[in-house]
Chains A and B, each alone.
Chain A
Amino acid sequence: QKEVEQNSGPLSVPEGAIASLNCTYSDRGSQSFFWYRQYSGKSPELIMFIYSNGDKEDGRFTAQLNKASQYVSLLIRDSQPSDSATYLCAVLGYTGGFKTIFGAGTRLFVKA
C-alpha cells in the first residue's frame, strides 16, 4: 500500500513568518511531487511541483525534495493570512500505470 503522510496540523504561524510543511512517502520509485492548496469549501489548486532533488523556488514558495529520505517539503516565506488553507502533498509513482496519491493535508493558519 503506497502512502503519503502529512501532519494534519493545524500549523499556526504569525504573519510574516516562514511556514514549513512536510510530507513523507513510502514508494521509493516515486517520480514527481506536487503541492496543492485547498481553501475551505474549494477545490485543490496546484501551487508547486518538483521532480529533482534539491530546492525549487517560485515567489514566496520553495519546494524541497530529498528522494533518499523520501521527504518533500514546502516552505512559505512571509506568510500572509491569505495563505491560511489546507496544503495537500501529492506523489506520482508508477505501478502498472502512472498513479498519483494524495496525502490528507496539513491545515495552516496564519495569524494576523
Chain B
Amino acid sequence: EAGVAQSPRYKIIEKRQSVAFWCNPISGHATLYWYQQILGQGPKLLIQFQNNGVVDDSQLPKDRFSAERLKGVDSTLKIQPAKLEDSAVYLCASSLIQGTRGNEQFFGPGTRLTVL
C-alpha cells in the first residue's frame, strides 16, 4: 500500500513570495490533515478535511494561508505572501475516517520550507 505522498520535499523562497505544497493521501482515506511543525515543537494542525469539506481550520492564518482538497483526494496548501516565521516543515497526514476509532494518522515525508 502506497503511503502519503508530498511534494516538493524542500523549498527555499524569499519573504513575500508565494509557495504551494501538494499532498496525495493514502487511497481510501477520507480525512486529510495539514500540519506545521517548527523545530523542537510538536505538529500544529493547520487544516483538516473530511472528504472535500473543511472540518477545522481554526489555526490556519487565513490572511496568507489557503488550502483546498478537490474531489476529496489530493490537496494543496498555499502561502502567499510568505513570512520569515513560516519557515517550518509542513506535514500532510491522512486517516481512514474521522471518529473515535480508525483515526490513526499516517504522515507523508513533509516539505521543509525555508523563508529567507
Which of B36-44, B65-73, B74-82 has 4 or more CB atoms under 8 Å from chain A? B36-44
List CB contacts (< 8 Å) of B27-58 with chain A. 33, 35, 40-45, 48, 55-56
Counting contact residues on chain A (CB < 8 A from B), the size range is 20 to 34
Q: Do the beta carbons of B91 and A51 come within 8 Å of each other? A: no
Q: How large is the interface on B (under 10, 10 to 19, 20 to 34, 35 or more residues)?
A: 20 to 34
Shortest beta-carbon distance from A103 to chain B in Å: 5
Q: Do residues B104 and A49 form an inter-chain contact, with CB atoms below 8 A? A: yes
Chain B proximity mask over A69-112: 1 for CB below 8 Å, otherwise 0: 00000000000000000001010101011111111110000000
Which B positions have Cβ atoms within 8 angstroms of A?
33, 35, 40-45, 48, 55-56, 89, 91, 98-101, 103-110
Report Cα–Cα, A16/B44, bound state, in Å.
33
Given contacts A42-B109, A98-B55, 17 further A-B contacts (CB under 8 A): A31-B100, A32-B100, A32-B101, A43-B110, A44-B43, A44-B91, A44-B107, A92-B103, A94-B100, A97-B56, A97-B98, A98-B98, A99-B48, A100-B105, A102-B35, A104-B41, A105-B42
